[in-house]
Amino acid sequence: MPESGFDFETNVGKASSYGIELETRFRATEALTLTASGGWTHATFSEDTPALGSTNGDLNAHKGDRIQGVPKYNAALGFEYRFASTFVRAAASGPDRAAASFVKDSSDYERPGYFTADASAGMTFDRFEISAFVKNLTNNDKVIQRPDIQGVSTVYHLRPRTIGVTGRFDF
């Protein structure tokens, strides 16, 4: 596949994608709500795809190869605990590994799966809510992408732990 100084998008052939998603919320007590969700996706090329080039004479995308950027599995677990006008929430979620590049010998051919955990605590006052949050609670530093951009190898990590405050008003 020729290298270029820009990315492009194009229709390249036929693909098939199907799957299932499940989500549940369970009110365990008056104060505690548990949530769980998960999904499975089967997304593949329906035909050989010469438009995506070849490497060493072999097509980069064959019939049955996975579609890039679509994890096979994803899952999330969480809870919310409310007492009076105060709440605590936490959740962990993440996708399975996913194909990323069409070029099989690319450093970014397959991206890893990962999980992150988030938490928040706050208060509600009538129609106003204020909370403090922590995203990526464990400060997971996993490398999730290794693309070559214009010949330069790059590494992307999960966003580091982020702490903040947010407010919301329901009109």
Mean pLDDT computed over 89-99: 94
Would you say 97 and 111 are in contact if contact means Cβ atoms under 8 Å apart?
Answer: yes
52 SS3 class: helix
- 3 within a domain of the structure (yes/no): no
Distance of alpha carbon 136 from its chain centroid, rounded? 13
pLDDT tens digit sequence for 12-66? 789 999 999 999 999 999 999 999 999 999 999 999 888 888 888 888 888 998 8
Mean pLDDT computed over 105-120: 91
Q: Which of 1-5, 52-56, 137-141, 163-167 has the lowest mean pLDDT?
A: 1-5
pLDDT tens digit sequence for 128-152? 999 999 999 999 999 999 888 777 8
- 57 within a domain of the structure (yes/no): yes
**Residue 1 scores a pLDDT above 60:** no
- 135 within a domain of the structure (yes/no): yes
Would you say 71 and 110 are in contact if contact means Cβ atoms under 8 Å apart?
Answer: no
Instruction: Indicate the burial class of 95 (C-beta count within 10 angstroms; 0-12, 13-18, 19 or more).
Output: buried
pLDDT tens digit sequence for 116-130? 999 999 999 999 999
- 10 within a domain of the structure (yes/no): no
- 142 within a domain of the structure (yes/no): yes
- 154 within a domain of the structure (yes/no): yes
pLDDT for position 37 = 98
Count of C-beta atoms within a 10 Å radius of residue 120: 18
Rounded distance between C-alpha atoms, residue 106 and residue 145, angstroms: 11
**Residue 100 scores a pLDDT above 90:** no
Number of domains the chain is built from? 1
Range of the domain at 161: 15-169
**Residue 108 scores a pLDDT above 60:** yes
- 8 within a domain of the structure (yes/no): no
- 46 within a domain of the structure (yes/no): yes
